[in-house]
Amino acid sequence: MNRTLQFSVFVTASLFAHGISYAGIETLIVPYAAVEDVVYGQKDGMGLTLDVLTPEQGAKDIGIILVSSGSWKSGKSNVQADVDKRRRDHWGMGLLHGGYTVFVVRHGSGPRFRVPEMIEDIRRSVRFVRLHAADYGIDPDNIGITSGSSGGHLALMVGMAGDDGNAEAKDPVERVSSRIQAIVSWFPPTDLINWGGADGYKLIEKVRPGMFEEIFGTVTNLTEQLESISPIYFLTPDDPPLLLIHGDKDKTVPVQQSEILKTEYEKAELPVKLIVQPGGGHTYWDGIEKQYVDVAEWFDTYLD
């Protein structure tokens, strides 16, 4: 098992921009064990894999799904030995620091696979983890999910649209519930129709031609398709408690996306909290490690 494994969930130019300090993230680093490349499903003859990270000390019986995704693409880091890059990664380390067993899940990526298929991949990973909960020393009845940006979107879609499984399925994994008990989503897309404002998707079509073909493959009825992958339209009275974290200077995903979902959660009288980081951009800001106090409090409150 590799104890210096690093997972770069998102790699963006802003993350490595000159002048950014990562000193605070070093406070999150704890010793941990890793089991890599566990196959949780297959697609077109290829394995869908996840990695299991367990803190060596103070491990709780709480499992957290960490969706590895950036721009709806998912890959595995090849920099296990790069300590400097490991120190920049708050995603896995922040959760391990909180004592959680972390399941870093990779989904089928574009351009071969489309967003609706990715949602099903992550949903299957939840079923797999729940089925094997005893093997990983976690409580199958209390599983959380988290990630940011496109990963945060997928986390919301799975968390807000879980099911009890198909009791008639031949595959034992598919018989298991995909329901999530708590969500933490960082700067996520939540309503792809009203992106930044009413009918904002029309601006996306102009600014980023071909984006929706990348998401769906073939565009037939765009508004219906966008609604089908927008978490805000899946809100139900039994949705899990939700913590949203978003920077107010995010130029990639407008903070409006978190604000409108928070409003709908409040209307449904569901537990929700939105932390808006002043001056915060997309993916990273100085002092981001401090947010893991809130993350741990949220997961401990609703999963313990």
State mean pLDDT over 173-197: 98
- Given a cut of 60, is residue 87 above it in pLDDT? no
**What pLDDT score does 68 carry?**
93
Provide the pLDDT confidence category of residue 149 given band limits of 50, 70 and 90.
Answer: very high
Of 69, 60, 245, 272, the residue nearest 160 (C-alpha): 272
> b/e map of 109-144 (b: 16 or more CB within 10 Å)?
bbeebbbeebbbbbbbbbbbbbbbbeebebbbebbb
Residue 45: per-residue pLDDT: 86
**Of the candidates 222, 284, 289, the residue with the CA atom closest to the CA atom of residue 15:** 284
Identify the pLDDT of residue 84: 55
Average pLDDT over every residue of 263-279: 98
Q: Tell me how far apart the alpha carbons of residues 156 and 119 are, in angstroms, rounded to a whole number.
A: 10
| pLDDT of the residue at 86 | 53
pLDDT above 80: residue 7: no
Domain 13-192+229-303: give its CATH code. Answer: 3.40.50.1820
pLDDT at 79: 41
pLDDT band at 10 (very low <50, low <70, confident <90, very high): very low
Q: What is the pLDDT of residue 85?
A: 57
What is the pTM assigned to this prediction? 0.90
d(CA 261, CA 91): 23
The reported pLDDT for the residue numbered 88 is 63
pLDDT tens, position by position, 225-235: 999 999 999 99
Q: What is the mean pLDDT of the chain?
A: 89
Q: How many percent of the chain have pLDDT more than 90? A: 75
Token match 């060596």: residue?
56
Q: Report pLDDT for 283.
A: 87
Q: Is the pLDDT of residue 166 over 80?
A: yes
Give 24-51 pLDDT, tens digit per residue.
778 888 899 999 999 999 988 889 999 9
Does residue 14 have a pLDDT over 60?
no
